[in-house]
Amino acid sequence: MRSVSEIQSPAFDPFGEPVADGVARVCPSTTAGDRTARRVGGAVFWTLALAILAGRVYAYNLPAVQSVAAHAVQMLALR
């Protein structure tokens, strides 16, 4: 006769590797809090990425930025 653990389907980690039954019971599946944290983290990441991109686009044609960049290139050329 089979035990309960043999009848259950095997558990897998996020990379597709099989996980022992004891580990699968200890580590619960994704909860609502995990999903919320992942969404908030993603929103913060993309907000920062877009803000940096917008700042770079805005500063691309500013004369001050171009003069600082020109001086930096000259300093690097002297090395």
The pLDDT assigned to 41 comes to 94
Helix ranges, the chain (H)? 4-7, 21-26, 32-59, 63-78
Which pLDDT tens digit goes with each residue over 32-73? 678 888 999 999 999 999 999 998 888 777 777 778 888 899
Q: Which domain holds residue 77?
A: 31-79
DSSP 8-state secondary structure symbol assigned to residue 20: -
The pLDDT assigned to 8 comes to 66
In our burial notation (b when 16+ CB lie closer than 10 A, e otherwise), range 40-52 reads eeeeeeeeeeeee
**Rounded Cα–Cα distance for residues 38 and 43 (Å):** 9
When comparing pLDDT for 77 and 12, which is higher?
Answer: 77
Q: Indicate if 42 and 74 belong to the same structural domain.
A: yes
Q: Indicate if 48 and 11 belong to the same structural domain.
A: no
Q: Is the pLDDT of residue 6 over 80?
A: no
When comparing pLDDT for 37 and 19, which is higher?
Answer: 37
Tokens standing for residue 77: 């050329």
Tokens standing for residue 13: 């980690």
What are 11's strand-pairing partners?
19
pTM of the model: 0.45
Q: Indicate if 39 and 57 belong to the same structural domain.
A: yes
Q: Indicate if 54 and 74 belong to the same structural domain.
A: yes
